[in-house]
Structure 1
Amino acid sequence: MAVAGMINILLSLVCIGLSFWALQAFRFDLFVANPKGARAKLLQIFLSIFIGHGVASFFTDYFGWTQLLRQFF
């Protein structure tokens, strides 16, 4: 149980980091007034957390579903 918790935490952090890295390519200057400002960076961090958590939840759920499929056989 503790190992699964550590894996979920690490997976979440990796997905958040990857989404932050991927959002670096996004052109925020088209949507925000000051793309280099603190509010734009905070928006980017919040979007990274939102996207990263969603991706990590998907992979965690998918892994759980595959474990449940073992009960068929």
Structure 2
Amino acid sequence: MDSSTVSQLPSTIAVSGLAAIIVSLVCIAVAWWALQNLKIDLIVRNPKGPQGKLLQLLLAVVLGHFVSSFILDYWGYTRMLKYMF
């Protein structure tokens, strides 16, 4: 590796990390928005209470994590395709 590639490596890693954070937060927000339409009162006694909202938040984080993991993995796989040709 030449010196210009080595000097660009930290900024490349930083941009990838920032993109991962943004994608994760956006996916969690979209999951939260989608879960607002779920009739959670069929499962939880008091869905408007703090425990009901916490359950909804945890579901949004889990769902958002899975979606963002899929998107970031797919993005990484497409970036690897340039080494195929």
Distance 2:33 2:65 in 1: 14
Q: Could you say which structure has the greater relative contact order, defined with CA pairs below 8 angstroms and 6 or more residues apart? A: 1
Matches within 5 A, 1:1-73: 1-73=13-85
1:12-71: CA deviation from partner (whole Å, max 9, x where unpaired): 000000100100000001111111111010000000000001101100000111111111
Q: C-alpha separation between the residues in 2 aligned to 1:36 and 1:56? A: 27
TM-score (normalised: structure 2):
0.83
Corresponding residue pairs, total: 73
Distance in 1 separating the partners of 2:22 and 2:79: 20
CA RMSD of aligned residues (A): 0.6
Structure 1 residue ranges without an equivalent (≥5): none
Report sequence identity in percent.
49
Q: Which aligned segments of 4 or more residues in structure 1 are displaced greater than 6 angstroms?
A: none
In structure 2, what residue type is equivalent to 1:48?
A
